[in-house]
Structure 1
Amino acid sequence: MPPLDWLRTFEAAARHENFTEAADELGLTQAAVSQQIRKLEAHFKITLFHRLARGVELTAEGDAYLPSVRSAIHALARSTEDLFGKKGSKVITIACPASIASLWLVPRLQWIIASRPKISLSVAAIHRPADYEAIKADIEIRFGNGKWEGKIATHLFSEVLSPICAPSLLVGVPEGKWQSLPCIRLAGRRSGWSEWAIEAKMSPPRKTAIRFDSFITALDAAKAGVGVLLASLPLSERALAQQEVVRLSPVELAMPIGNWLVRNPEVQMRAEVEELCRLISHSVASDLPF
């Protein structure tokens, strides 16, 4: 077995794909990280990283070794916390995209906490996929196809898109002519107006009011009357229930990917974490008092 410090450095360097960023996380110099990686490679007599102009990239051997190293480090950290950490109620961390946290999870927290008032929660907002590895949460909510290497995923809800807008935006607009209104667009790789228009067999709105990189701000803009938003119906349920926005069409675009409750199988979860997973799953069907 190589020294544990070398393995921690290997895991951090692989996660960041950069020796300098790994050094910042571990409190080392870049030279120290590079030296530890060289010693680890010499120990195994293999090359673990390709050195690139900017950053590093795992070799096939390094990529194959990483899951075992990561699993062992996580298991050791969890066992240390369970045995020697602060006694009493432990905080359970949930990592999820900011839009899921604000628009889907928060409305359900009152019901979850009322069901198990002794559970202590910490919600961490995710802004990029790499943040999941950095935070190392007990529970994750991820958007995708449900397949993440080394993870157990339970389906929560599907993504369904349909146009919505503020009631005030429809004043003076002839019935069924909302396509003439400006539309709100979202940046990023996701299904949009063109795909929905094909499903609805109609022309998409042509005039763009404004583009956002966040669904939260896009929904706020729709509620303010800025334009028509092709919205996630699950994330807009509160705004629709409170009539801050209204649906403009019964046509829905069902996306092939959805939102999943994700956890690590190799780490034995505490009973309260198992219970929280169950509560989150059951909250999908709960009647929320909007």
Structure 2
Amino acid sequence: MERARFDNLPLEWIRAFEAAARTGSFTAAAQETGVTQSAISQRIDKLEKQLGTHLFLRQARSIALTVEGETWLPHVQTAFESLRQSSEGLFGAARSRLTISASSSIIDLWILPRLARLTEDIGAQLSLRTMVLAAGAAQEDDTIRIRYGAGDWPVAYKVPLYNEMIAPVAAPELLASASDWKELPRIALSGPRPGWNEWSARHGTPTTPLPALRFDTFVSALAAARAGHGVLLASLPLCAGDLAGGKLLRVCEESLSCHQSYWLLASNEAVSRRQWNRLETILKDPVPREGA
């Protein structure tokens, strides 16, 4: 008989409780769920009677969760999120067109080597948009974004593409021209990654010679290093192809780890769960497998 109290609890009662607890108001919960404030109050009353406990402390102009309500709330929210994700995964309609916004470096060095798998597996028309940095640029809910940072964006889906690791690299011909790579010209790169000053402080190498070339995109700086114009403090995951092909060489075994990296980000409006799972699988693959 005790168990019967918890069987067949109407979902609308639990939904009313979750909305009121999250918004802190029966009125706000009513507006969110599209019913009257009276209906929210009645549903929560019935839920409390069924559970045999008070979930809210009702005051003149406000409500507050009881200890029991506060304890139950995270379990309810977890259950709703699991229900939403499973429904999206099983029944969500795939988007017919996906837009990915990323820097030119990520498009050229990370997405293009994986493009064949993307176009084959995603099942949608794919549009790649080069990100242009602009102060106060609004977030686009219908766009999948790849951004550099620590991962603290409030989005439904997010995952780091790789663990950032930084080390100096140079063209083989340039390295052969000097007995010590520290004497070679250096290339600087603007942006959030650690630079030559951080490298020198960590590893005790000289801060000179000062870089004679500075670029604002990694793909341009990498091309300059490939052409033999200097030593570049490079993202090892992004230049993995050049290292594997012998176009660039690491000049030493030391490296710098970085807590920031490129993250794949999307809202529920930008991509279905199935498509997100495929994007994550393909774009997190450290070794591109064209057509696989």
Same fold, judged at TM 0.5 (above)? yes
Q: Quick check: 1:218 aligned with 2:217? A: no
Match of 2:282 in 1: 280
- Normalised to the residue count of structure 2, the TM-score between the two structures is 0.60
**Cα distance per residue 1:22-77 (max 9 Å; x no partner):** xxxxxxxxxxxxxxxxxxxxxxxxxxxxxxxxxxxxxxxxxxxxxxxxxxxxxxxx
Is this contact kept in 1: 2:122–2:275, CA < 8 A?
no
Is this contact kept in 2: 1:140–1:262, CA < 8 A?
yes
Shift in Å, 1:199: 2.7
Q: Quick check: 1:157 aligned with 2:195? A: no
Match of 1:72 in 2: none
Q: Quick check: 1:140 aligned with 2:142? A: no
Q: Quick check: 1:203 aligned with 2:206? A: yes
Specify the code of the residue in structure 2 equivalent to 1:143: Y
How many residue pairs are counted as aligned between the two chains? Answer: 200
Specify the code of the residue in structure 2 equivalent to 1:284: P
Q: Quick check: 1:108 aligned with 2:108? A: no
Secondary structure at the aligned position of 2:262 is classed as strand
Q: Structure with the greater relative contact order (CA < 8 A, sep ≥ 6): 1 or 2?
A: 2
Q: Tell me the distance in 2 between the aligned counterparts of 1:110 and 1:117.
A: 10
Identity %: 31
Shift in Å, 1:110: 1.9
- Normalised to the residue count of structure 1, the TM-score between the two structures is 0.61
Which of 122, 128, 138 does residue 127 from structure 2 map onto?
Answer: 122
Is this contact kept in 2: 1:186–1:213, CA < 8 A?
yes
Structure 1 residue runs without a partner (length 5+): 1-81
Secondary structure at the aligned position of 1:157 is classed as coil
- Bigger drift between 96-105 and 121-130 goes to 121-130
Q: Tell me the distance in 2 between the aligned counterparts of 1:172 and 1:187.
A: 27
Secondary structure at the aligned position of 1:211 is classed as strand
Q: Quick check: 1:257 aligned with 2:260? A: yes
Shift in Å, 1:200: 2.3
Q: Tell me the distance in 2 between the aligned counterparts of 1:149 and 1:129.
A: 19
Structure 2 residue runs without a partner (length 5+): 1-91
Match of 2:66 in 1: none
Specify the code of the residue in structure 1 equivalent to 2:285: S
Whichever of the two has the greater Rg, that structure is 2
Specify the code of the residue in structure 2 equivalent to 1:126: M
Secondary structure at the aligned position of 2:161 is classed as strand
Shift in Å, 1:239: 1.3
**Residues 1:107 and 1:205: Cα distance change in structure 2 (over 3 Å):** farther
**Cα distance per residue 1:113-167 (max 9 Å; x no partner):** 34x2743211111121669736544421111111113453212212211001111
Is this contact kept in 2: 1:92–1:122, CA < 8 A?
yes
